[in-house]
Amino acid sequence: MNRREILMQMASLSALAMNTSPSWAADDDIVVGAIYPMSGPNAQVGVDARHAIDTALQIINTPTQVDLPGAAGAGIASLGGRKLRVVYADHQADPQKGRAEAERLITQEKAVAIIGCFHSSVAATVGTTCERYGVPFVCADSSSPSLHRRNLKYFFRPAAHDEMFSEAMFDFMDLQKKQGKKVESVALFFEDTIFGTDSSTVQRKLAAERGYKVAADVKFRANSPSLSAEVQQLKSANADVLLPSCYTTDVILLMNTCAQLGYKPRNIVAQAAGFVEKAALDVVGDKLQGMITRASFALDTAGKRPSIGFVNTAFKARAGRDLNDASSRQFMAAIVLGDALQRAGSTDGEKLRAALAATDIPGDKTIMPWSRVKFDASGQNTFASPVLQQFKGTGFVTIFPTAVAMAQPVWPMNG
């Protein structure tokens, strides 16, 4: 990048940071719905989702010097420069509330597409509702594999699902074993939701295929008041690797209970979710030093792709924090949708669906470590390559795959 390009990006970023509210809102805006937890224990996810999606819309609606789809123009050029506007809804982690909010956004707010939903259980009902109304659902960050296997025409997921994430985890463990590290047994710890059960099903299957002993297979009730019995099971099993799938409040309870009962996992390889949320890291980060998580996003690779740093700075100006695994996916969902609207030249549900199905965005035109965005017949982007990151100090560093790694892993997690 030359000096002129850098100065243009800086000027564009300054304008983007100053314009933090949709002052361009008008009656002819193209309305998109976004359904997230805006209250309750996962409210911060919803707050960050709003900042991430608003950052993407500002890039789409205002000419911006960053190498991303839709950044160069002002609005959707094929629709006369009409701007995108998002109407947000709170699903409160309740699948039926999510369904009702999807119906409201489509029938009352006239949303042409829906983005969501973090919780896979909510994404399941929202996806079905969108299908019924013929409105595309861009599943930004819900990762259960079953979501794209329901023969839905209007479902599209740009990011990886839990089978892809889990395969990366086991590939990493295979590499550690090959290098002489002790990795013989795993302990599954998962909540009783579609997210937890789908995750555990995949990991159970991979463990059998790859020759790992499942030393503990522990299912727990989400938002449980106590995890003492479950942690005792994990402690007794003393597996080489703990594979947890749970959200923020349960992560905090899990790690505090482990400390109380004297259980110190040798290694944790997590399905992101609560393990990457600031709310959990602020409380139990000291107990998670060396924890490894799967991820869609690698902020520490910004030196290799200028758009990463540009978008992170714009997001941070709004949110006061860096992009993370969830907010990066939320941002990209909005970018992918904007690109499809441009190519569709229409807000008609079927035409927009066809444009999404024809999406083909090179990886270097995203902020993710993906090779591209291209959906298969089920609406899943099979090119959404995951990475693994390790929590060190107060941040995450990319450790796998080796081609994009920024540091060597610490294994076991406590050195």
Q: What is the pLDDT of residue 319?
A: 95
Say how far apart CA 69 and CA 154 lie, in whole Å.
21
- DSSP H helices, 92-161, are 95-107, 120-133
Burial class (CB in 10 A: 0-12, 13-18, 19+), 96: exposed
- Written as one string, the DSSP assignment of 283-324 is HHGGG-TT-EEEES--GGGGGG-HHHHHHHHHHHHHHSS---
Token pair recorded at residue 133: 């109304």
pLDDT band at 26 (very low <50, low <70, confident <90, very high): low
pLDDT tens across 249-264, in order? Answer: 999 999 999 999 999 9
pLDDT tens across 165-209, in order? Answer: 899 999 999 999 999 999 999 999 999 988 888 889 999 999 999
Mean pLDDT (whole number) for 366-374? 94
**Secondary structure letter of residue 106 according to DSSP:** H
Q: What is the pLDDT of residue 211?
A: 95
Helix axes 325-344, 43-61, angle to 10 degrees: 40
Burial class (CB in 10 A: 0-12, 13-18, 19+), 107: exposed
Average the pLDDT over each of 97-101, 140-144, 410-414 and give the range with the smallest value. 410-414
- Three-class HEC string of 227-254: CHHHHHHHHHHCCCEEEEECCHHHHHHH
Q: What is the pLDDT of residue 320?
A: 94
Say if residues 363 and 138 touch (Cβ distance below 8 Å): no
Burial class (CB in 10 A: 0-12, 13-18, 19+), 202: buried
* CATH fourth-level superfamily of 162-295+388-400: Response regulator (3.40.50.2300)
pTM of the model: 0.82
Q: What is the pLDDT of residue 415?
A: 64
The percentage of the chain sitting over the pLDDT mark of 70, rounded to a whole number, equals: 93
Domain ranges of the chain: 3-160+301-384, 162-295+388-400
Nearest 10 degrees: Cα torsion 230, 235, 239, 244: 40
Partner residues linked to 214 by β-bridges: 186
How far CA 334 is from CA of 33, 36, 347, 373, 380, in Å, comes to 11, 14, 15, 13, 16
pLDDT tens across 70-116, in order? Answer: 999 999 999 999 999 999 999 999 999 999 999 999 999 999 999 99
Which residue is listed with tokens 């699903």?
A: 91
Average the pLDDT over each of 62-71, 85-94, 258-267, 301-310 and give the range with the smallest value. 301-310
Which residue is listed with tokens 């107990």?
A: 287
- What sign does the CA torsion over 320, 321, 323, 326 have? negative
pLDDT band at 19 (very low <50, low <70, confident <90, very high): very low
Say how far apart CA 326 and CA 305 lie, in whole Å.
19
Nearest 10 degrees: Cα torsion 180, 186, 190, 196: 70
Q: What is the pLDDT of residue 229?
A: 96
Q: What is the pLDDT of residue 274?
A: 85
Q: Is the pLDDT of residue 21 over 60?
A: no
Report the b/e string of 30-63 with b at 16+ CB within 10 A: bbbbbbbbbeebbbbbbbbbbbbbbbbbbbbbbe
Q: What is the pLDDT of residue 186?
A: 97
Q: What is the pLDDT of residue 256?
A: 96
Q: Is the pLDDT of residue 22 over 80?
A: no
406 vs 137, more confident: 137
* CATH number of the structural domain 3-160+301-384: 3.40.50.2300
User: Do 162-295+388-400 and 3-160+301-384 have the same topology in CATH?
Assistant: yes
